[in-house]
Amino acid sequence: MCGIIGAVGRGDATLDTLLAGLSNLEYRGYDSAGLAVSGEELSVAKRSGELEVLEDALEGQSLSGNAGIGHTRWSTHGAPTDANAHPHTDCTDSVAVVHNGIIENYQSLRDELAAAGHEFKSETDTEVVPHLIESLLADGASPGTAFRQAVDRVEGSYAIAAVFAGSDTVFAARNDSPLVLGVGDDATYLGSDVPAFLEFTDRVVYLEDGEVAELSPAGWTVTTLAGDPVEKEIRTVDWESEDTGKSGYDHYMLKEIHEQPRALRQCLQERVNELAGTVDLGDAVNETLRGVDDVQLVACGTSYHAALYAAELFRSQGVRAQAFVASEYVTSPAPHGENTLVIGITQSGETADTLSALRDAQRRGVETLAVTNVVGSTAARECDGVLYIRSGPEIGVAATKTFSAQVVAANLVAAVMANGDTSHEFVSALRDLPGQVQTVLEETNAEAVADRFVDADAYFFIGRGYDYPVAMEGALKMKEITYKHAEGFPAGELKHGPLALVTGNTPVFAVVTGETGSEKTVGNVKEVEARNAPVVAVTDGRTDVERYADEVLEVPETDPRLAPVLANVQLQLVSYHVAKQLGRSIDKPRNLAKSVTVE
C-alpha cells in the first residue's frame, strides 16, 4: 500500500535521496507521488500518475533543505489527482504531512477545523493533520508538541510524518501501520518499509504503536506520545541492496520466481538434520508447537492459500486444523481449547486483517505464532513466537517465492508438532526440493503453453488435496497480473456449477500430483475433455492424465507433500508469460498493493 520515505542530514542530496526512496517503494502499489523539502520555506511537489511524472515536473528545479519527506499514494479518500496526492499542507504552507492508513474521525475533525476558518484543498482524510498542527502552532505550541497533540487527536490506523518550514527535523508516529528508521553514519532515514532506504543503510529501528520519532542532524530519538523517552534497539537487516534490484531480469516477478531454489535453501538451512531425520526450529518455536491439539490458521490472499495447504497437511497428521480468511476470523472467531495455537501467515508481517485476527486471538488468551518473511515486522514482534521463512526481499506485488517458502515452512512446523521426528526419506525430499525447482525452471515449457492460450476467454484451475490450494493460487496469479478472469476450486466441485462456464476457449489447468485422489481428478479432466475444453495437466506422471491433456507441464516426482511446490512454479511461469504477451504491468498490477495495511 502507500509508501513513506524521509531523510535528514543529506544536505544537497536530500531531493535525490527522496526520489530514490520513492523509486524503491514503487512495488507497494500507488497512483500518485509527492515530496516536501524543508529549508527556510517548504518546497512541495506532487503529481498523480507514475513517479516519472513527478520527476518530469521537478526537472530543472532545485529544492534545497536538509530534511524531507516523500510519499507514494494508493487512493482511499478521493480520486488519484494532483490535489489529493501527498504531502498535504496547512493554510500557511508552514507544515507538510504524509500519511499511510485511514483516519476514522477525519470528518468530525474537518468540520471543526472548517468552522474555525481552515480551507481544505483535497478530498483526503490526511489533510486534517496539517491543519490540526497549524491550529496548535497558533496557540503557541512548539513543532514537536503540536505534532504530538495533533496525532493524539487522530483515531484510526496511521503512519504519519511531518516537516516544518525553517526546520531540519522530521517528526513521525505510527499506529497499526508500519514505520521504521534507518540509522546511517551521517544521516537518518524514515520508511514504511526497509527497502525505501536500504541502499543507504542496513541499520534499522522499528517503531511500535504509540511511539513518536524525531529525526534531526544531531541524531534521532523515540518517545511516547506524552514525550517520555523510549529505549530502542538498532538491528541490522540481513539484506543486500542488490537483493532489491532486478539483476538483469525483465521484471521483479520473474527474478523472484527464479530465486525460489535459493529461498527454499535458506528456509531449510540449519533446521533439518538429514542424518538424524529430525527438524529443529529453535527452542522457542519448538516449545510453542509441542502439545498443540488444535491449529487455527489466519491469512489473506496468497498466504491464505498457504494456510489452506498447511491445514490439509496438519489434518493428515492427526492435528485438528482450520484455515480462515483473516478478515472473516475477526468477525466470527472459532472456538478454542487449552491447547489451541493460532498461526498467522503473512509475508510482510504487516497485513492489517491478519494482525487484527492475531490480536483478537491474544485477547482471548490463545497462543499465537507468526510465519513471516520480514524480521522485526509487527507480527513478528507481537506474536508469542515467530518462524521466519527467510525468502529475502520480495518486490513484485504478486507473491511467488514467499508462497513456496511458506509451504515448506508448514512442513517444518508439522514435523516439530510430531516431536521433530520425520522419515529420512522425507528429509531427503526436502533437501532435493530446491534442485528440483531449478530443474522445472530450466526445462519448463510454460511459455509455449502461454502462447497457445493467451487469447482464452477465461482460465480454470482444479486440484484435490494438497493440489487444491495450488489451483487456487494459480488462479490468483493469473487474475492478478493478466487482468483476465480465472477461477480455482476443488476438482470435485467442477460439476456443481463451474462446468456451465467451460467452453472450447476456456482452458482448464488440472494439478494432478501424488496418488491420493488423483484418479478422481483424472475423471474430472475427462468431463472437461468431453465438452471440448482444452486441458493443461500439471503432473508428476503418477497417473495417466497426460492421455487426456492438450498440453502437459511436467514436474519431478517427489514426496506428495512437496509436489505442489513444483506444480506451483509451473503455474507462476504460465501466468507471467501470458501477462507479458498481453503487455501488462507485471510488477505493479492495477489497483493492487504489495502490503495491505488497512482493513
In tens digits, the chain (599 residues) has pLDDT values of: 578 999 999 988 999 999 999 888 876 667 889 999 998 889 999 998 888 899 998 987 778 889 999 998 877 777 788 899 999 999 999 999 999 888 989 999 999 999 999 999 999 999 999 999 999 999 999 999 999 999 999 998 889 999 999 999 999 999 888 899 999 999 999 998 888 898 899 999 999 889 999 999 989 999 999 999 999 999 888 766 556 667 778 898 999 999 999 999 999 998 998 888 889 999 999 999 988 989 999 999 999 999 999 999 999 988 999 999 999 998 877 888 889 999 999 998 988 899 999 999 999 999 999 999 988 888 999 999 999 999 988 888 899 999 999 999 999 999 999 876 678 889 999 999 999 999 999 999 999 999 999 999 999 999 999 999 999 999 999 999 999 999 999 888 887 888 778 888 999 999 999 877 677 888 777 887 767 789 999 999 888 888 888 999 999 999 999 999 999 999 999 999 999 999 999 988 887 765 555 55
The reported pLDDT for the residue numbered 527 is 81
Tell me the C-alpha distance between 354 and 332, whole Å: 14
**From CA 162, how far away is CA 134, in angstroms rounded?**
12
pLDDT of residue 36: 94
How many helices (H) and strands (E) in the chain?
18, 26
Q: Is 2 a catalytic residue?
A: yes
**Residue spans of beta strands (DSSP E) within 491-579:** 508-512, 535-539, 551-554
Q: Which three cell numbers stand for residue 196?
A: 525505501
CA distance 394 to 425: 31
Backbone angles phi, psi at 532, to 5 degrees: 65, 20
Distance between CA atoms of 370 and 553, rounded to whole angstroms?
Answer: 34
The Cα–Cα gap between 599 and 596 comes to 8
Q: Residue 36 to residues 43, 58, 136, 247, 567: CA-CA distances in angstroms?
A: 5, 12, 21, 31, 47
Choosing from 255, 401, 479, 594, the catalytic residue is 594
Do the strands 211-216 and 219-224 form a parallel or antiparallel pair, or are they unpaired?
A: antiparallel
- In degrees, rounded to 5, the angle at the alpha carbon of residue 412 between the alpha carbons of residues 407 and 417 is 120
- Sorted by sequence, the CB contacts under 8 Å of residue 218 that are 6+ apart come out as none
Q: What is the pLDDT of residue 520?
A: 80
The confidence score (pLDDT) of residue 1 equals: 57
* C-alpha cell read off for 240: 543486500
What is the Cα 249 distance to its own chain's centre?
A: 21
Domains recognised in the chain with CATH numbers: 3-240 (3.60.20.10), 245-442 (3.40.50.10490), 444-586 (3.40.50.10490)
Closest of 258, 325, 321, 254 to residue 292, by C-alpha: 321
Maximum Cα–Cα distance across the chain: 81
**Residues 87/97, Cβ–Cβ less than 8 Å:** yes
> pLDDT at position 239, please?
66
Give the β-pairing of 272-273 and 203-206.
unpaired
Instruction: Give the model's pLDDT for residue 240.
Output: 61
d(CA 280, CA 287) in angstroms, rounded, equals 11
Contacts of 139 (CB under 8 A, 6+ apart): none
C-alpha cell at 585: 504491468
CA gap 353, 307 in Å, rounded: 14
To the nearest 5 percent, what fractions of the chain are helix, strand and coil?
40, 25, 40
Q: Which of 340, 263, 252 is nearest to 296 (CA)?
A: 340
Is 594 assigned a catalytic role? yes
Angle 42-31-476 (CA atoms, 0-180°, nearest 5)? 150
Centre a 10 Å sphere on the Cβ of residue 204 and count the other Cβ atoms it contains: 21
Q: Which amino acid is at 101?
A: G
pLDDT computed for residue 241 by the predictor: 55
Give the pLDDT score at 50: 84
| Alpha-carbon distances of 132 from 110, 368, 490, rounded to whole Å | 9, 38, 53
Residue 486 makes CB contacts below 8 A (sequence gap 6+) with 458, 459, 460, 461, 474, 475, 476, 478, 479
Strand order across the beta sheet in which 42-48 lies: 42-48, 32-38, 67-73, 3-8, 188-191, 180-183, 203-206, 235-236
Q: Which of 2, 267, 300, 383 is catalytic?
A: 2
Q: What pTM does this model have? A: 0.76
